Structure 1
Amino acid sequence: MKQQIKSSLILLLTATIWGVAFVAQSVGMEYIGPFTFNAIRCVLGGLVLIPVILVLKKKKETGAENQEKEDKKTLWAGGIACGVILCIASNLQQFGIMEASVGKSGFFTALYIVMIPVIGIFIGKRPGIKLWFCVALAVVGMYLLCMKDGSFTIERADIMLLLCALAFSFHILVVDYFSPKVDGVKMSCIQFFVCGVLSAVGMLFTETPDISNIQAAWLPLLYAGLLSCGVGYTLQIVGQKGINPVIASLIMSLESVISALAGWVILGQVLSPKEILGCVLMFVAIIITQIPIGNKKTD
Protein backbone atom coordinates (compact mmCIF):
# COMPACT_ATOMS: atom_id res chain seq x y z
CA MET A 1 0.00 0.00 0.00
CA LYS A 2 2.83 2.41 0.87
CA GLN A 3 4.53 1.66 -2.45
CA GLN A 4 1.32 2.29 -4.37
CA ILE A 5 0.76 5.62 -2.60
CA LYS A 6 4.37 6.62 -3.29
CA SER A 7 4.05 5.66 -6.98
CA SER A 8 0.76 7.55 -7.27
CA LEU A 9 2.31 10.70 -5.83
CA ILE A 10 5.27 10.43 -8.22
CA LEU A 11 2.91 10.09 -11.19
CA LEU A 12 0.84 13.02 -9.94
CA LEU A 13 4.04 15.08 -9.86
CA THR A 14 4.74 13.89 -13.42
CA ALA A 15 1.28 15.02 -14.55
CA THR A 16 1.83 18.37 -12.83
CA ILE A 17 5.16 18.89 -14.61
CA TRP A 18 3.62 18.01 -17.98
CA GLY A 19 0.52 20.12 -17.35
CA VAL A 20 2.47 23.27 -16.47
CA ALA A 21 4.67 22.61 -19.51
CA PHE A 22 1.77 23.78 -21.70
CA VAL A 23 2.22 27.23 -20.16
CA ALA A 24 5.96 27.14 -20.87
CA GLN A 25 5.27 26.13 -24.46
CA SER A 26 2.71 28.92 -24.89
CA VAL A 27 5.04 31.57 -23.43
CA GLY A 28 7.96 30.29 -25.51
CA MET A 29 5.98 30.94 -28.70
CA GLU A 30 6.13 34.67 -27.94
CA TYR A 31 9.85 34.64 -28.72
CA ILE A 32 10.72 31.78 -31.05
CA GLY A 33 9.10 29.48 -33.63
CA PRO A 34 7.71 25.99 -32.96
CA PHE A 35 10.55 24.11 -34.66
CA THR A 36 13.18 26.17 -32.85
CA PHE A 37 11.47 25.58 -29.51
CA ASN A 38 11.20 21.81 -29.98
CA ALA A 39 14.70 21.46 -31.38
CA ILE A 40 16.24 23.11 -28.32
CA ARG A 41 13.95 21.52 -25.71
CA CYS A 42 14.47 17.99 -27.08
CA VAL A 43 18.24 18.34 -27.23
CA LEU A 44 18.16 19.59 -23.62
CA GLY A 45 15.95 16.63 -22.69
CA GLY A 46 18.41 14.20 -24.27
CA LEU A 47 21.40 15.84 -22.57
CA VAL A 48 19.80 15.71 -19.11
CA LEU A 49 19.16 11.98 -19.51
CA ILE A 50 22.81 11.17 -20.27
CA PRO A 51 23.98 11.47 -16.63
CA VAL A 52 20.85 9.54 -15.56
CA ILE A 53 21.86 6.73 -17.90
CA LEU A 54 25.39 6.71 -16.50
CA VAL A 55 24.13 6.59 -12.91
CA LEU A 56 21.62 3.80 -13.61
CA LYS A 57 23.96 1.81 -15.80
CA LYS A 58 24.39 -1.74 -14.57
CA LYS A 59 27.30 -4.06 -15.15
CA LYS A 60 26.49 -6.40 -18.00
CA GLU A 61 27.27 -10.09 -17.75
CA THR A 62 30.20 -11.23 -19.86
CA GLY A 63 28.17 -14.00 -21.49
CA ALA A 64 25.46 -11.68 -22.82
CA GLU A 65 27.39 -10.03 -25.67
CA ASN A 66 25.24 -11.48 -28.47
CA GLN A 67 22.07 -10.52 -26.67
CA GLU A 68 23.53 -7.07 -26.11
CA LYS A 69 24.04 -6.62 -29.85
CA GLU A 70 20.42 -7.60 -30.50
CA ASP A 71 19.27 -5.23 -27.80
CA LYS A 72 21.25 -2.38 -29.37
CA LYS A 73 19.54 -2.91 -32.73
CA THR A 74 16.14 -2.97 -31.07
CA LEU A 75 17.07 0.02 -28.91
CA TRP A 76 18.03 2.15 -31.90
CA ALA A 77 15.01 0.98 -33.92
CA GLY A 78 12.70 1.91 -31.05
CA GLY A 79 14.45 5.20 -30.33
CA ILE A 80 14.37 6.33 -33.97
CA ALA A 81 10.74 5.27 -34.47
CA CYS A 82 9.67 7.04 -31.28
CA GLY A 83 11.73 10.10 -32.17
CA VAL A 84 10.12 10.49 -35.60
CA ILE A 85 6.59 10.15 -34.21
CA LEU A 86 7.42 12.42 -31.28
CA CYS A 87 8.69 15.05 -33.71
CA ILE A 88 5.39 14.98 -35.62
CA ALA A 89 3.30 15.02 -32.44
CA SER A 90 5.24 17.70 -30.55
CA ASN A 91 5.45 20.09 -33.50
CA LEU A 92 1.75 19.72 -34.28
CA GLN A 93 1.13 20.49 -30.62
CA GLN A 94 3.42 23.50 -30.70
CA PHE A 95 1.75 24.94 -33.79
CA GLY A 96 -1.64 24.35 -32.17
CA ILE A 97 -0.60 26.08 -28.95
CA MET A 98 0.26 29.19 -30.98
CA GLU A 99 -3.44 29.69 -31.75
CA ALA A 100 -5.27 27.81 -28.96
CA SER A 101 -5.44 28.40 -25.23
CA VAL A 102 -3.36 26.34 -22.81
CA GLY A 103 -6.48 24.67 -21.39
CA LYS A 104 -7.84 23.62 -24.77
CA SER A 105 -4.41 22.36 -25.87
CA GLY A 106 -4.13 20.21 -22.76
CA PHE A 107 -7.56 18.67 -23.17
CA PHE A 108 -7.10 17.89 -26.86
CA THR A 109 -3.71 16.29 -26.20
CA ALA A 110 -5.25 14.09 -23.48
CA LEU A 111 -7.61 12.58 -26.05
CA TYR A 112 -4.90 10.03 -26.84
CA ILE A 113 -6.37 7.97 -24.01
CA VAL A 114 -9.63 7.67 -25.96
CA MET A 115 -7.91 7.25 -29.34
CA ILE A 116 -5.67 4.37 -28.31
CA PRO A 117 -8.56 1.90 -27.83
CA VAL A 118 -10.06 3.06 -31.13
CA ILE A 119 -6.79 2.33 -32.91
CA GLY A 120 -7.00 -1.11 -31.29
CA ILE A 121 -9.87 -1.91 -33.69
CA PHE A 122 -7.37 -2.09 -36.54
CA ILE A 123 -5.04 -4.45 -34.67
CA GLY A 124 -7.66 -7.05 -33.83
CA LYS A 125 -9.04 -5.76 -30.51
CA ARG A 126 -12.82 -5.42 -30.50
CA PRO A 127 -14.13 -2.41 -28.57
CA GLY A 128 -17.10 -2.77 -26.23
CA ILE A 129 -20.15 -0.64 -25.63
CA LYS A 130 -18.26 1.37 -23.00
CA LEU A 131 -15.70 2.47 -25.59
CA TRP A 132 -18.31 3.68 -28.07
CA PHE A 133 -20.07 5.58 -25.27
CA CYS A 134 -16.79 7.29 -24.35
CA VAL A 135 -16.06 8.20 -27.97
CA ALA A 136 -19.55 9.69 -28.37
CA LEU A 137 -19.18 11.61 -25.09
CA ALA A 138 -15.78 12.95 -26.18
CA VAL A 139 -17.22 14.06 -29.53
CA VAL A 140 -19.96 16.03 -27.72
CA GLY A 141 -17.30 17.56 -25.49
CA MET A 142 -15.19 18.53 -28.51
CA TYR A 143 -18.21 20.19 -30.12
CA LEU A 144 -18.90 22.32 -27.04
CA LEU A 145 -15.22 23.18 -26.68
CA CYS A 146 -14.40 23.91 -30.32
CA MET A 147 -17.50 25.15 -32.12
CA LYS A 148 -17.81 28.92 -31.82
CA ASP A 149 -21.26 30.58 -31.77
CA GLY A 150 -23.03 27.36 -32.75
CA SER A 151 -20.98 27.10 -35.92
CA PHE A 152 -20.00 23.76 -37.39
CA THR A 153 -16.57 25.03 -38.35
CA ILE A 154 -13.44 23.74 -36.64
CA GLU A 155 -10.52 26.07 -36.15
CA ARG A 156 -7.17 25.23 -37.69
CA ALA A 157 -5.57 24.89 -34.26
CA ASP A 158 -8.20 22.30 -33.27
CA ILE A 159 -7.34 20.15 -36.27
CA MET A 160 -3.63 20.34 -35.51
CA LEU A 161 -4.21 19.41 -31.86
CA LEU A 162 -6.44 16.48 -32.85
CA LEU A 163 -3.73 15.24 -35.22
CA CYS A 164 -1.27 15.79 -32.39
CA ALA A 165 -3.36 13.57 -30.08
CA LEU A 166 -3.53 10.92 -32.82
CA ALA A 167 0.26 11.05 -33.26
CA PHE A 168 0.78 10.75 -29.50
CA SER A 169 -1.53 7.71 -29.56
CA PHE A 170 0.78 5.98 -32.05
CA HIS A 171 3.79 7.13 -30.02
CA ILE A 172 2.41 5.49 -26.87
CA LEU A 173 1.70 2.26 -28.75
CA VAL A 174 5.22 2.20 -30.20
CA VAL A 175 6.72 2.85 -26.75
CA ASP A 176 4.53 0.07 -25.37
CA TYR A 177 5.93 -2.31 -28.01
CA PHE A 178 9.61 -1.47 -27.56
CA SER A 179 9.87 -0.61 -23.85
CA PRO A 180 9.73 -4.22 -22.56
CA LYS A 181 12.59 -5.10 -24.91
CA VAL A 182 15.04 -2.27 -24.20
CA ASP A 183 16.17 0.20 -21.56
CA GLY A 184 13.44 2.85 -21.40
CA VAL A 185 15.69 5.73 -20.35
CA LYS A 186 18.16 5.03 -23.17
CA MET A 187 15.35 4.79 -25.71
CA SER A 188 13.95 8.07 -24.43
CA CYS A 189 17.35 9.74 -24.76
CA ILE A 190 17.65 8.57 -28.38
CA GLN A 191 14.13 9.70 -29.24
CA PHE A 192 14.80 13.18 -27.85
CA PHE A 193 17.93 13.61 -29.96
CA VAL A 194 16.14 12.27 -33.08
CA CYS A 195 13.22 14.64 -32.47
CA GLY A 196 15.64 17.51 -31.82
CA VAL A 197 17.58 16.94 -35.04
CA LEU A 198 14.43 16.63 -37.19
CA SER A 199 12.97 19.75 -35.58
CA ALA A 200 16.23 21.56 -36.28
CA VAL A 201 15.89 20.69 -39.98
CA GLY A 202 12.39 22.20 -39.97
CA MET A 203 13.78 25.21 -38.13
CA LEU A 204 16.48 25.85 -40.76
CA PHE A 205 14.03 25.62 -43.68
CA THR A 206 11.02 27.48 -42.26
CA GLU A 207 12.23 29.75 -39.47
CA THR A 208 14.95 32.30 -38.82
CA PRO A 209 16.27 31.59 -35.32
CA ASP A 210 17.65 34.59 -33.49
CA ILE A 211 20.06 34.24 -30.57
CA SER A 212 18.55 37.17 -28.68
CA ASN A 213 15.06 35.70 -28.97
CA ILE A 214 16.32 32.30 -27.84
CA GLN A 215 17.95 33.94 -24.84
CA ALA A 216 14.68 35.73 -24.05
CA ALA A 217 12.90 32.35 -24.03
CA TRP A 218 15.49 30.69 -21.78
CA LEU A 219 13.10 30.00 -18.89
CA PRO A 220 10.34 28.25 -20.92
CA LEU A 221 13.03 26.32 -22.81
CA LEU A 222 14.71 25.14 -19.61
CA TYR A 223 11.41 24.07 -18.09
CA ALA A 224 10.21 22.25 -21.21
CA GLY A 225 13.60 20.65 -21.84
CA LEU A 226 14.97 19.76 -18.43
CA LEU A 227 11.75 19.24 -16.45
CA SER A 228 9.06 18.24 -18.95
CA CYS A 229 11.27 16.05 -21.14
CA GLY A 230 14.08 14.84 -18.90
CA VAL A 231 12.69 14.81 -15.36
CA GLY A 232 9.08 14.11 -16.35
CA TYR A 233 9.94 11.00 -18.34
CA THR A 234 12.28 9.67 -15.64
CA LEU A 235 9.61 10.15 -12.98
CA GLN A 236 7.13 8.31 -15.19
CA ILE A 237 9.45 5.30 -15.37
CA VAL A 238 10.00 5.29 -11.61
CA GLY A 239 6.35 5.92 -10.78
CA GLN A 240 4.94 3.18 -12.99
CA LYS A 241 6.87 0.51 -11.11
CA GLY A 242 4.63 -1.31 -8.65
CA ILE A 243 1.35 0.28 -9.75
CA ASN A 244 -1.49 -0.88 -11.98
CA PRO A 245 -0.98 0.62 -15.49
CA VAL A 246 -4.67 1.58 -15.67
CA ILE A 247 -4.32 3.66 -12.50
CA ALA A 248 -1.03 5.10 -13.81
CA SER A 249 -2.66 6.21 -17.09
CA LEU A 250 -5.55 7.81 -15.22
CA ILE A 251 -3.23 9.77 -12.93
CA MET A 252 -1.05 10.96 -15.81
CA SER A 253 -4.11 12.07 -17.80
CA LEU A 254 -4.61 14.72 -15.11
CA GLU A 255 -2.05 16.77 -17.03
CA SER A 256 -4.99 18.08 -19.08
CA VAL A 257 -6.76 19.42 -15.99
CA ILE A 258 -3.53 20.86 -14.61
CA SER A 259 -2.82 22.58 -17.94
CA ALA A 260 -6.20 24.31 -17.80
CA LEU A 261 -5.63 25.37 -14.18
CA ALA A 262 -2.11 26.57 -15.03
CA GLY A 263 -3.41 28.59 -17.96
CA TRP A 264 -5.98 30.22 -15.68
CA VAL A 265 -3.61 30.92 -12.76
CA ILE A 266 -0.48 31.92 -14.68
CA LEU A 267 -1.76 33.32 -17.99
CA GLY A 268 -5.26 34.43 -17.01
CA GLN A 269 -6.86 32.38 -19.81
CA VAL A 270 -10.56 31.83 -19.04
CA LEU A 271 -12.89 29.33 -20.71
CA SER A 272 -16.55 30.12 -21.30
CA PRO A 273 -19.20 28.03 -19.44
CA LYS A 274 -19.88 26.08 -22.65
CA GLU A 275 -16.17 25.37 -23.13
CA ILE A 276 -15.84 24.32 -19.48
CA LEU A 277 -18.74 21.87 -19.94
CA GLY A 278 -16.99 20.52 -23.03
CA CYS A 279 -13.79 20.04 -21.05
CA VAL A 280 -15.72 18.26 -18.28
CA LEU A 281 -17.38 15.86 -20.74
CA MET A 282 -14.04 15.11 -22.44
CA PHE A 283 -12.38 14.49 -19.10
CA VAL A 284 -15.26 12.22 -17.98
CA ALA A 285 -14.84 10.25 -21.20
CA ILE A 286 -11.12 9.89 -20.50
CA ILE A 287 -11.81 8.66 -16.95
CA ILE A 288 -14.45 6.13 -18.02
CA THR A 289 -12.11 4.56 -20.58
CA GLN A 290 -9.72 3.75 -17.74
CA ILE A 291 -12.33 2.19 -15.41
CA PRO A 292 -12.67 -1.58 -15.86
CA ILE A 293 -16.24 -2.86 -15.83
CA GLY A 294 -16.96 -6.28 -14.37
CA ASN A 295 -14.27 -8.89 -13.92
CA LYS A 296 -13.04 -8.91 -17.49
CA LYS A 297 -9.62 -7.51 -18.15
CA THR A 298 -9.25 -5.16 -21.07
CA ASP A 299 -5.94 -4.83 -22.82
Structure 2
Amino acid sequence: MDAKRKFMILGDLAVLLVAFIWGATNVVIRDALGGITPFWFCFLRFAVASAAVMLIFGRRAMAMPRRAKLAGAFTGMAFSLAYLSGAVGLLYTTAGNQSFIISMSVVFVPLSVWLLTKKFPGWHVMLSVALCLAGLAGLMLDGNFSVNPGDALSAFAMLCVTAYILLVQKFVAGEDACGLACWQAVGSMFLAAVCAFAFEPFPAELARAAWIAVVYAGTIGYALTLVLQTVAQKYTSPTHVAILLSTSGIFGSLLGVVCIGEPMTWRIFAASALIFSGVVAVEAIPALRGKK
Protein backbone atom coordinates (compact mmCIF):
# COMPACT_ATOMS: atom_id res chain seq x y z
CA MET A 1 0.00 0.00 0.00
CA ASP A 2 1.48 3.37 -1.03
CA ALA A 3 1.79 6.26 1.40
CA LYS A 4 -0.94 8.34 -0.27
CA ARG A 5 -3.47 5.52 0.06
CA LYS A 6 -2.46 4.90 3.68
CA PHE A 7 -2.92 8.57 4.61
CA MET A 8 -6.30 8.61 2.86
CA ILE A 9 -7.50 5.62 4.89
CA LEU A 10 -6.27 7.22 8.12
CA GLY A 11 -8.05 10.43 7.15
CA ASP A 12 -11.26 8.54 6.43
CA LEU A 13 -11.12 6.83 9.83
CA ALA A 14 -10.57 10.20 11.50
CA VAL A 15 -13.61 11.69 9.76
CA LEU A 16 -15.70 8.65 10.72
CA LEU A 17 -14.71 9.22 14.36
CA VAL A 18 -15.76 12.87 13.96
CA ALA A 19 -19.16 11.70 12.68
CA PHE A 20 -19.68 9.49 15.73
CA ILE A 21 -18.72 12.32 18.11
CA TRP A 22 -21.07 14.72 16.29
CA GLY A 23 -23.97 12.31 16.68
CA ALA A 24 -23.23 11.75 20.37
CA THR A 25 -22.73 15.47 21.05
CA ASN A 26 -26.17 16.35 19.67
CA VAL A 27 -27.67 14.09 22.34
CA VAL A 28 -25.53 15.64 25.09
CA ILE A 29 -26.37 19.21 24.06
CA ARG A 30 -30.12 18.57 23.96
CA ASP A 31 -29.99 17.16 27.48
CA ALA A 32 -28.09 20.23 28.75
CA LEU A 33 -30.07 23.04 27.10
CA GLY A 34 -32.60 23.06 29.91
CA GLY A 35 -30.05 24.74 32.17
CA ILE A 36 -28.51 27.30 29.80
CA THR A 37 -29.54 29.38 26.81
CA PRO A 38 -28.27 28.17 23.41
CA PHE A 39 -25.97 31.08 22.46
CA TRP A 40 -24.26 31.19 25.84
CA PHE A 41 -23.80 27.44 25.69
CA CYS A 42 -22.12 27.80 22.29
CA PHE A 43 -19.92 30.68 23.47
CA LEU A 44 -18.71 28.76 26.53
CA ARG A 45 -18.21 25.65 24.42
CA PHE A 46 -16.10 27.53 21.86
CA ALA A 47 -14.15 29.31 24.59
CA VAL A 48 -13.21 25.95 26.10
CA ALA A 49 -12.30 24.64 22.63
CA SER A 50 -10.18 27.73 21.83
CA ALA A 51 -8.28 27.40 25.10
CA ALA A 52 -7.70 23.69 24.48
CA VAL A 53 -6.37 23.97 20.92
CA MET A 54 -4.33 27.11 21.64
CA LEU A 55 -2.75 25.42 24.65
CA ILE A 56 -1.53 22.58 22.42
CA PHE A 57 -1.00 24.25 19.03
CA GLY A 58 -0.88 27.96 19.90
CA ARG A 59 2.76 28.46 18.91
CA ARG A 60 2.10 27.03 15.46
CA ALA A 61 -1.04 29.16 15.11
CA MET A 62 0.75 32.40 16.00
CA ALA A 63 3.47 31.66 13.44
CA MET A 64 0.99 31.53 10.56
CA PRO A 65 0.72 34.47 8.12
CA ARG A 66 -2.03 37.04 8.68
CA ARG A 67 -3.96 35.86 5.61
CA ALA A 68 -4.12 32.30 6.94
CA LYS A 69 -5.23 33.51 10.37
CA LEU A 70 -8.10 35.50 8.86
CA ALA A 71 -9.06 32.58 6.59
CA GLY A 72 -9.18 30.25 9.59
CA ALA A 73 -11.27 32.69 11.64
CA PHE A 74 -13.70 33.21 8.75
CA THR A 75 -14.05 29.44 8.28
CA GLY A 76 -14.70 29.02 12.00
CA MET A 77 -17.44 31.65 11.90
CA ALA A 78 -19.15 29.73 9.09
CA PHE A 79 -19.22 26.61 11.25
CA SER A 80 -20.24 28.67 14.26
CA LEU A 81 -23.40 29.65 12.38
CA ALA A 82 -24.17 25.95 12.02
CA TYR A 83 -23.71 25.36 15.75
CA LEU A 84 -25.68 28.45 16.78
CA SER A 85 -28.67 27.69 14.57
CA GLY A 86 -28.46 24.00 15.47
CA ALA A 87 -28.40 24.73 19.20
CA VAL A 88 -31.58 26.82 18.93
CA GLY A 89 -33.14 24.23 16.65
CA LEU A 90 -32.68 21.51 19.26
CA LEU A 91 -35.15 23.37 21.47
CA TYR A 92 -37.89 22.48 18.96
CA THR A 93 -36.83 19.20 17.33
CA THR A 94 -35.21 15.90 18.23
CA ALA A 95 -31.50 15.12 18.12
CA GLY A 96 -32.26 12.36 15.61
CA ASN A 97 -34.13 14.69 13.25
CA GLN A 98 -31.36 17.25 13.38
CA SER A 99 -28.63 14.69 12.77
CA PHE A 100 -30.37 13.33 9.67
CA ILE A 101 -31.12 16.80 8.26
CA ILE A 102 -27.53 17.99 8.74
CA SER A 103 -26.31 14.78 7.07
CA MET A 104 -27.84 16.12 3.83
CA SER A 105 -24.65 18.14 3.38
CA VAL A 106 -23.39 14.94 1.72
CA VAL A 107 -25.54 15.91 -1.28
CA PHE A 108 -25.09 19.66 -1.20
CA VAL A 109 -21.29 19.49 -1.13
CA PRO A 110 -20.98 17.86 -4.59
CA LEU A 111 -23.73 20.15 -5.92
CA SER A 112 -21.76 23.15 -4.69
CA VAL A 113 -18.61 21.81 -6.30
CA TRP A 114 -20.60 21.50 -9.55
CA LEU A 115 -21.69 25.14 -9.36
CA LEU A 116 -18.14 26.28 -8.67
CA THR A 117 -16.35 24.09 -11.21
CA LYS A 118 -19.14 23.77 -13.85
CA LYS A 119 -18.53 19.98 -13.90
CA PHE A 120 -21.72 17.92 -13.77
CA PRO A 121 -21.49 15.52 -10.78
CA GLY A 122 -23.62 12.78 -12.36
CA TRP A 123 -27.24 11.64 -12.38
CA HIS A 124 -26.68 9.59 -9.23
CA VAL A 125 -26.21 12.89 -7.35
CA MET A 126 -29.45 14.21 -8.83
CA LEU A 127 -31.20 11.07 -7.58
CA SER A 128 -29.68 11.61 -4.15
CA VAL A 129 -30.95 15.19 -4.08
CA ALA A 130 -34.51 14.03 -4.89
CA LEU A 131 -34.45 11.33 -2.19
CA CYS A 132 -33.00 13.64 0.44
CA LEU A 133 -35.40 16.48 -0.33
CA ALA A 134 -38.34 14.06 -0.05
CA GLY A 135 -37.02 12.87 3.29
CA LEU A 136 -36.42 16.43 4.46
CA ALA A 137 -40.02 17.31 3.64
CA GLY A 138 -41.16 14.29 5.66
CA LEU A 139 -39.14 15.43 8.67
CA MET A 140 -40.04 19.11 8.44
CA LEU A 141 -43.78 18.89 7.70
CA ASP A 142 -46.18 17.71 10.40
CA GLY A 143 -49.77 16.53 9.96
CA ASN A 144 -50.93 20.10 9.34
CA PHE A 145 -48.26 20.66 6.68
CA SER A 146 -46.55 23.33 8.75
CA VAL A 147 -42.79 23.62 9.14
CA ASN A 148 -41.25 22.78 12.49
CA PRO A 149 -38.96 25.74 13.31
CA GLY A 150 -36.39 23.39 14.80
CA ASP A 151 -36.13 21.40 11.57
CA ALA A 152 -35.95 24.62 9.51
CA LEU A 153 -33.06 25.86 11.65
CA SER A 154 -31.41 22.46 11.28
CA ALA A 155 -31.68 22.81 7.49
CA PHE A 156 -29.92 26.19 7.70
CA ALA A 157 -27.24 24.56 9.87
CA MET A 158 -26.79 21.93 7.15
CA LEU A 159 -26.09 24.66 4.57
CA CYS A 160 -23.52 26.18 6.93
CA VAL A 161 -21.84 22.78 7.34
CA THR A 162 -21.69 22.49 3.55
CA ALA A 163 -20.00 25.88 3.29
CA TYR A 164 -17.61 24.94 6.10
CA ILE A 165 -16.43 21.74 4.40
CA LEU A 166 -15.75 23.63 1.17
CA LEU A 167 -13.93 26.45 2.97
CA VAL A 168 -11.68 24.04 4.88
CA GLN A 169 -10.80 22.29 1.62
CA LYS A 170 -9.95 25.65 0.06
CA PHE A 171 -7.79 27.02 2.87
CA VAL A 172 -6.08 23.92 4.31
CA ALA A 173 -3.92 23.33 1.23
CA GLY A 174 -0.40 24.50 1.96
CA GLU A 175 -1.20 25.57 5.53
CA ASP A 176 -0.58 24.11 8.98
CA ALA A 177 -3.84 22.22 9.59
CA CYS A 178 -3.53 22.33 13.39
CA GLY A 179 -2.77 26.05 13.35
CA LEU A 180 -5.73 26.63 11.04
CA ALA A 181 -7.94 24.71 13.47
CA CYS A 182 -6.87 27.09 16.25
CA TRP A 183 -8.03 30.15 14.32
CA GLN A 184 -11.27 28.38 13.40
CA ALA A 185 -11.95 27.92 17.12
CA VAL A 186 -11.21 31.61 17.76
CA GLY A 187 -13.52 32.70 14.93
CA SER A 188 -16.28 30.47 16.27
CA MET A 189 -15.89 31.89 19.77
CA PHE A 190 -15.99 35.49 18.50
CA LEU A 191 -19.27 35.08 16.58
CA ALA A 192 -20.89 33.14 19.42
CA ALA A 193 -19.88 35.88 21.89
CA VAL A 194 -21.48 38.55 19.70
CA CYS A 195 -24.74 36.58 19.46
CA ALA A 196 -24.80 35.71 23.16
CA PHE A 197 -24.30 39.28 24.37
CA ALA A 198 -26.70 40.68 21.77
CA PHE A 199 -29.65 38.29 22.13
CA GLU A 200 -29.56 36.53 25.50
CA PRO A 201 -29.25 37.55 29.16
CA PHE A 202 -26.05 36.72 30.97
CA PRO A 203 -26.52 33.41 32.85
CA ALA A 204 -26.60 34.03 36.60
CA GLU A 205 -25.56 30.48 37.41
CA LEU A 206 -25.14 27.15 35.66
CA ALA A 207 -26.10 23.72 36.91
CA ARG A 208 -23.43 21.04 37.25
CA ALA A 209 -24.91 19.12 34.30
CA ALA A 210 -24.62 22.19 32.08
CA TRP A 211 -20.94 22.67 32.99
CA ILE A 212 -20.22 19.01 32.27
CA ALA A 213 -21.89 19.38 28.88
CA VAL A 214 -19.92 22.58 28.15
CA VAL A 215 -16.60 20.93 28.96
CA TYR A 216 -17.39 17.76 27.01
CA ALA A 217 -18.77 19.64 23.99
CA GLY A 218 -15.85 22.07 24.03
CA THR A 219 -13.04 19.53 24.29
CA ILE A 220 -14.24 16.26 22.74
CA GLY A 221 -17.21 17.59 20.76
CA TYR A 222 -15.42 20.56 19.15
CA ALA A 223 -11.67 20.90 19.79
CA LEU A 224 -10.88 17.28 18.98
CA THR A 225 -13.22 17.01 16.00
CA LEU A 226 -12.02 20.36 14.64
CA VAL A 227 -8.39 19.20 14.54
CA LEU A 228 -9.26 15.72 13.23
CA GLN A 229 -11.40 16.99 10.37
CA THR A 230 -9.08 19.82 9.33
CA VAL A 231 -6.07 17.50 9.20
CA ALA A 232 -8.07 14.78 7.41
CA GLN A 233 -9.16 17.17 4.66
CA LYS A 234 -5.54 17.47 3.57
CA TYR A 235 -5.75 13.90 2.30
CA THR A 236 -9.28 13.43 0.94
CA SER A 237 -11.92 15.24 -1.12
CA PRO A 238 -14.73 17.39 0.30
CA THR A 239 -17.34 15.05 -1.20
CA HIS A 240 -15.74 12.06 0.50
CA VAL A 241 -15.65 13.95 3.81
CA ALA A 242 -19.33 14.85 3.47
CA ILE A 243 -20.25 11.21 2.77
CA LEU A 244 -18.47 10.01 5.90
CA LEU A 245 -19.84 12.83 8.07
CA SER A 246 -23.36 11.93 6.96
CA THR A 247 -23.17 8.86 9.20
CA SER A 248 -23.51 11.22 12.17
CA GLY A 249 -27.25 11.12 11.43
CA ILE A 250 -27.31 7.39 12.05
CA PHE A 251 -25.28 7.70 15.24
CA GLY A 252 -27.35 10.62 16.51
CA SER A 253 -30.67 8.94 15.82
CA LEU A 254 -29.69 5.68 17.50
CA LEU A 255 -28.19 7.42 20.53
CA GLY A 256 -31.21 9.73 20.80
CA VAL A 257 -33.59 6.76 20.97
CA VAL A 258 -31.40 4.63 23.25
CA CYS A 259 -30.00 7.25 25.65
CA ILE A 260 -32.73 9.87 26.10
CA GLY A 261 -35.83 8.01 24.92
CA GLU A 262 -36.65 10.10 21.84
CA PRO A 263 -39.58 8.74 19.80
CA MET A 264 -39.17 6.87 16.51
CA THR A 265 -42.49 7.18 14.67
CA TRP A 266 -43.19 5.61 11.29
CA ARG A 267 -43.16 9.06 9.64
CA ILE A 268 -39.74 9.85 11.05
CA PHE A 269 -38.49 6.37 10.19
CA ALA A 270 -39.69 6.60 6.56
CA ALA A 271 -38.34 10.12 6.08
CA SER A 272 -35.01 9.17 7.60
CA ALA A 273 -34.87 6.09 5.35
CA LEU A 274 -35.29 8.34 2.28
CA ILE A 275 -32.46 10.60 3.42
CA PHE A 276 -30.27 7.61 4.20
CA SER A 277 -31.01 6.16 0.75
CA GLY A 278 -29.94 9.42 -0.86
CA VAL A 279 -26.76 9.46 1.20
CA VAL A 280 -25.91 5.87 0.21
CA ALA A 281 -26.65 6.51 -3.47
CA VAL A 282 -23.94 9.17 -3.65
CA GLU A 283 -21.30 6.53 -2.90
CA ALA A 284 -22.86 3.21 -3.89
CA ILE A 285 -23.81 3.96 -7.52
CA PRO A 286 -20.34 5.20 -8.56
CA ALA A 287 -18.80 2.19 -6.78
CA LEU A 288 -21.02 -0.22 -8.72
CA ARG A 289 -19.95 1.45 -11.95
CA GLY A 290 -16.31 1.07 -10.99
CA LYS A 291 -15.71 4.81 -10.49
CA LYS A 292 -13.36 6.22 -7.90
Q: Same fold (TM over 0.5)?
A: yes
Decide which of 185, 190, 212 is 1:197's aligned counterpart: 190
- 1:287 Cα offset (Å): 2.1
- 1:295 Cα offset (Å): 5.1
Q: Which structure: larger Rg? A: 1
1:179 aligns with 2:183: no
Provide the residue aligned with 1:104 in structure 2.
97
Distance 1:74 1:96 in 2: 33
Code of the residue aligned with 1:169 in structure 2: it is: T
Provide the residue aligned with 2:74 in structure 1.
81
Distance 1:164 1:238, change over 3 A: closer
Counterparts of residues 267-282 of structure 1 (less than 5 Å): 267-282=260-275
Q: Which runs of 5+ in 2 are unaligned?
A: none
Code of the residue aligned with 2:22 in structure 1: it is: W
Provide the residue aligned with 1:142 in structure 2.
136
Distance 1:195 1:237 in 2: 15
SS in 1 for 2:91: helix
Q: Using the aligned pairs only, state the percent identity.
A: 24
Q: Which runs of 5+ in 1 are unaligned?
A: 59-67
More deviation, 157-166/111-120:
111-120
Q: TM-score, normalised by structure 1?
A: 0.85
Code of the residue aligned with 2:247 in structure 1: it is: L
Distance 1:111 1:284 in 2: 11
Provide the residue aligned with 1:264 in structure 2.
257
Code of the residue aligned with 2:31 in structure 1: it is: V
Provide the residue aligned with 1:23 in structure 2.
27
CA contact (8 A) 2:169 2:238 kept: no
Provide the residue aligned with 2:16 in structure 1.
12
Distance 1:43 1:12, change over 3 A: same
SS in 1 for 2:35: coil
- 1:128 Cα offset (Å): 2.1
C-alpha RMSD over aligned residues? 2.6
Distance 2:254 2:106 in 1: 20
CA contact (8 A) 2:168 2:233 kept: no
Distance 1:241 1:87, change over 3 A: closer
Q: TM-score, normalised by structure 2?
A: 0.87
Number of residue equivalences: 284
1:32 aligns with 2:36: yes
